[in-house]
Chains A and B, each alone.
Chain A
């Protein structure tokens, strides 16, 4: 396997323009002769499907929900970045580029990030024209807010529902093309494999989730926009259905998987309340502007929070990071919470939580001001926990939120399988080892609206796919293997549900490949995971058959893939013997407990090649060259 990033030459500001000119074009009249498959209808997939159809390609779009509008992008709250510099505060494309590279702790590809910053501007134009109701000032122009990791105000937002509104814009564009007959939409259809013929991606195998039918769809190019794999941890802020199956199946067919261990943990989520818990809910980070984080000094202190006197409280963030205090960055705040809970000082059920206390803020500003700022969030918190944050401190705990890792792609967003393109959170992305807030929406839309419509043309024009029919041997072999696997899942008839395995897997990955990782722990996980996987294949119980709507079967297939992916994540974390961004190896920290990079050895993207079941995957490295930005160390003291 060869990793060819195919970054165009020339100065960084000119690379994309030059590349646009250099790429081959498909004659407009010929476009309708080509079919493109788009798996996923989130911001990335939805934007791609609509835009490709507008250009004239025939598009088949797939999602597992009952409607394309329900993709997980819908849940994003905060906002989307763009270098519009409407606020006259010194923002620019270059600054957004720089912030993103630095935020990613220097583990992303310069040229891609620059292009992202460049395209961010057009995204806002496009969305506004579609009718996305962004927040506005009284003068009628667009409003901005600031967000973590940046000193300028460049985040556009639509109340706390930015992802929803952007996705609806995208979805409406998609439905417009569906109405024209150019896009065929396949909802409730899950992709279970990629069809690779003569080394090129030529289609997918899907399961109709209502009838259970296993089908093939052939095309001239395939695009995956299937989102992140945060659900490998079982509990995360992702939707229940979010899964890694599409990218994992592609990996097994030859697409390299890059930086699997780069997963982001968000410090302010509502903690786990019990064993039945099915998912975690994010609370906006803005709460940390006025809340103070603390735990009791004594371990095992069971008193109610208000009964603990000031002198017996440990405001540990203020203590450890006097200058940033409660506003320390995501990864640092998350790790600190884990540490105090590990010491037995955590609060709430299971001792996995810390207090976020608004008592002082309410005293200082009054309850009204606090309600004005955080009223919605307080309500949501109370709805879930039944505790009133005006009276009792909130309990928060970190939770898995985003995955920077994903399938490796070149500058054209094509994976190592020619013809298989990967966009949005599913690719290893532009965020390096850590993503800044409000940048994922931007990336998904940049990929979908502006990059892929052009690079697909280049691929098709230069590869000229030959005709293919469903009776091709490789096509038949792929569909057969999918049928086989589905049958296997339903025929084990053991005793344990897929969810019970998933929960157990989640605990392992969270413990050993979560906020803080060590060689020792990772090695342990690398023993536990294969053992669990074996038990899964021996003792799984899937009721019902494959020929009907069977949610247990769907779950089982996804858990089976998570069980493999988890191992790769641990391998990658073990291999990356440094700390960077969200990847924190306890062996590599400064005396103050901050991440210590080893740029001399690890300034590369790790890209793993599948070598077959039971064999160790092969590690390839794409060296990262920084021609525009100097590598520096982050500091938050």
Chain B
């Protein structure tokens, strides 16, 4: 099949960008979306052009590198699927496809479809961990964890850090990502000692980075390749409220800037 692509091209972070039109010819329905772009890129290189830059690595939907807005939907039309796992059989011959980078102030474009998601790392650095130095851990089975809690924690921990939630959210909110981490650790006994501190610091950092707030639009949950539930956001709000009220001594200093 043949497709008409409109792709955002931007040579450098502060340069102006615009849409370019490309024609992807003889696309096999068995190709993944990224393989389709590979072929377009090979054509561009062969004809002396510059290939479209996009992030990718595992191509198995687990590393979280890939991600683009495809026809106005983060990661494209298939639910619970990262861009690299999207296949071309989802598209029709002759279809027009708009491809844009994640857009958020906190995710500045690096080049073309590549954005800088360092803000997500900084949010984790602000408190998304358990402070346990190597070697100091007690015997693993000394703390039983109810199976349901472990399973719920795993659901939240499945987040791949792709940033689609931010991209899809009309407010540019990173709530789902942050809430997933707060939920994962907050559901386990091992995460309890730092629970208040974690909520205060991670939320502070997410504000420092300039993400929007959560109106509960629910777009993030729909875009999330790992189907992280917005229930996690409720949990984050509760933790934050509780921590704010109970934890008066702690200054919710902004994280690592």
Contacts and interface: CB of A to CB of B under 8 A. Distances in A.
Q: Do chains A and B touch in the complex (CB under 8 A)?
A: yes
Interface of A: 47, 50-51, 54, 65-70, 72, 74-75, 84, 86, 122, 124-131, 133-142, 158-159, 161, 164-165, 168, 171-173, 175-176, 178-179, 185, 187, 210, 239-241, 273-274, 276-279, 281, 383-386, 449-450, 453, 495, 497, 499-500, 541, 543-544, 548-549, 551-552
7 contacts: A70-B58, A125-B138, A164-B62, A178-B125, A239-B59, A279-B59, A383-B81
Of A86, A125, A139, A453, most buried by chain B (CB within 10 Å of CB) is A125
A278 B134 contact: no
A499 B42 contact: yes
Contact of A125 (B85, B129, B139, B158): B139
Interface stretch (B32-40, B69-77, B235-243): B32-40
Given A178-B256, A386-B29, A67 B129 contact: no
B164 interface: no
Interface residues of B, number: 81
A86 B141 CA distance: 9
B153 A133 contact: yes
Contacts of A74: 58, 62-64, 160
Given A137-B147, A187-B118, A543 B51 contact: yes
A134 B153 CA distance: 10
Given A140-B146, A159-B154, A548-B11, A175 B46 contact: no
A141 B143 CA distance: 8
Interface in B106-132: 110-111, 114, 116-118, 120-121, 124-126, 128-132
Contacts of A84: 140
Given A129-B130, A165-B157, A70 B63 contact: yes
Given A165-B157, A386-B29, A70 B65 contact: yes
B65 A75 contact: no
B150 interface: yes
Given A129-B138, A168-B157, A135 B63 contact: no
Contacts of B58: 70, 72, 74-75, 239-240
A552 B49 CA distance: 12
A67 B150 contact: no
Contact of A70 (B57, B85, B114, B118): B57
Given A130-B190, A136-B147, A136-B150, A281 B137 contact: no
Contact of B56 (A122, A240, A276): A240
A497 B45 contact: yes
Contact of B135 (A126, A176, A273): A126
A394 B44 CA distance: 35
A140 B87 contact: no
Contacts of A552: 45, 51
B25 interface: no
Interface in B135-177: 135-141, 143-147, 150-151, 153-154, 157-158, 160-161
Interface string B183-203: 011001011000000000000
A137 B59 CA distance: 32
B30 interface: yes
A440 to B, nearest CB: 16
Contacts of B191: 131
B167 to A, nearest CB: 15
B133 interface: yes
B64 A69 contact: yes
Given A133-B188, A274-B30, A278-B38, 15 more contacts: A51-B134, A65-B63, A67-B118, A67-B120, A69-B121, A72-B57, A131-B157, A158-B154, A168-B157, A172-B130, A178-B256, A210-B111, A453-B134, A541-B45, A543-B50
Contacts of A125: 137-140
Contact of A133 (B64, B120, B157): B157
B121 A140 contact: no
Nearest to B89: A386
B30 to A, nearest CB: 5
B156 to A, nearest CB: 9
A68 B121 contact: yes
Contact of A131 (B110, B133, B160, B185): B185
